[in-house]
């Protein structure tokens, strides 16, 4: 479904992503893990058209995304849950959800989907008329995920969905991801929490500082790398 081939992204002369290749197949949950500053978010920004690669190719369902606008990429079926949620705090929960359907023309179905999201995430229904800023961090994350799903994406990108959340809420977020995976949603998950990501993902790519992939594989394959945990920790030493 998604293929990145030898992708590099630069900020001036600095390579944030360096000759990165990865692929996501339909109905897979793929992890991209690494320490802060490794280039994970930059990779998502390149996929969604916010940044243009300095080299390489990004293809979605056989069509290039390089040079395509973020709005057009969303319409093609890729939705992003950004780092730190990025909800609209002054707007109500309901208004935030409605924004998730703004690119759709099937208004009756969109309204039904909003109702279904409030049933799936009861806190959103309970606080439907409350400003988004009044929600807790975990509740805001549920809102951000629901808003992205309302675009009916074929590929869901998540950028650090557990960042800054309490351990109990982290568990809830990973439970939501497992439920989405079981429902057949295709997901590319960017995370610093390597252990939890490897546990739920079909395959995981491990990015080192400098934007290069150090390892990739299934949980079983990565577990056979004897010094994986030591190596993973070491990836952050030069960040």
Is 131 part of any domain? no
Buried b (16+ CB within 10 A) or exposed e, 175-193: ebbeebbeeebbbbbbbbb
**pLDDT tens string 194-204:** 888 999 999 99
Is 132 part of any domain? no
Domain that holds residue 30: 2-88+154-235
Between residues 229 and 196, which one has the greater pLDDT? 196
Between residues 106 and 128, which one has the greater pLDDT? 128
Is 224 part of any domain? yes
Indicate whether 129 pLDDT > 90. Answer: yes
What is the arithmetic mean of pLDDT over 121-127?
93
Indicate whether 192 pLDDT > 90. Answer: no
CATH number for 45: 3.40.50.300
Indicate whether 238 pLDDT > 80. Answer: no
Is 128 part of any domain? no
Is 7 part of any domain? yes
Is 143 part of any domain? no
* Residues β-bridged to residue 92: 131
Is 117 part of any domain? no
Indicate whether 111 pLDDT > 80. Answer: yes
Total number of domains constituting the chain: 1
Provide the pLDDT for residue 229. 59
Indicate whether 20 pLDDT > 60. Answer: yes
What is the arithmetic mean of pLDDT over 16-40?
93
Among residues 55, 38, 37, 35, the alpha carbon closest in space to that of 46 is found at 55
CA distance 228 to 237: 15
pTM of the predicted protein model:
0.88
Indicate whether 220 pLDDT > 80. Answer: yes
Is 22 part of any domain? yes
């Amino acid at each position: 479904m998604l293929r990145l081939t030898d992708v590099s992204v630069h900020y001036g002369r600095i390579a944030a992503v360096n000759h990165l290749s990865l692929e996501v197949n339909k109905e897979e949950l793929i992890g991209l893990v690494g320490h802060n500053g490794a280039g994970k978010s930059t990779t998502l920004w390149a996929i969604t058209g916010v940044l243009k690669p300095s080299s390489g190719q990004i293809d979605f369902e056989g069509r290039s995304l390089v040079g395509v606008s973020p709005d057009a990429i969303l319409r093609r079926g890729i939705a992003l849950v950004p780092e730190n949620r990025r909800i609209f705090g002054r707007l109500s929960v309901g208004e935030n959800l409605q924004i998730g359907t703004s690119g759709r023309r099937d208004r009756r179905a969109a309204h039904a989907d909003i109702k279904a999201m409030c049933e799936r995430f009861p806190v959103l229904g309970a606080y439907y008329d409350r400003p988004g800023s009044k929600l807790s961090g975990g509740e805001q994350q549920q809102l951000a995920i629901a808003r992205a799903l309302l675009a009916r994406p074929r590929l869901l990108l998540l950028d650090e969905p557990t960042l800054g959340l309490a351990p109990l809420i982290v568990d809830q977020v990973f439970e939501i991801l497992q439920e989405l995976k079981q429902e057949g949603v295709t997901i590319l998950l960017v995370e610093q929490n390597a252990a939890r990501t490897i546990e739920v993902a079909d395959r995981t790519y491990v990015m080192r500082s400098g934007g290069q992939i150090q390892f990739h594989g299934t949980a079983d394959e990565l577990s056979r790398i004897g010094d994986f945990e030591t190596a993973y920790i070491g990836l952050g030493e030069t960040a």
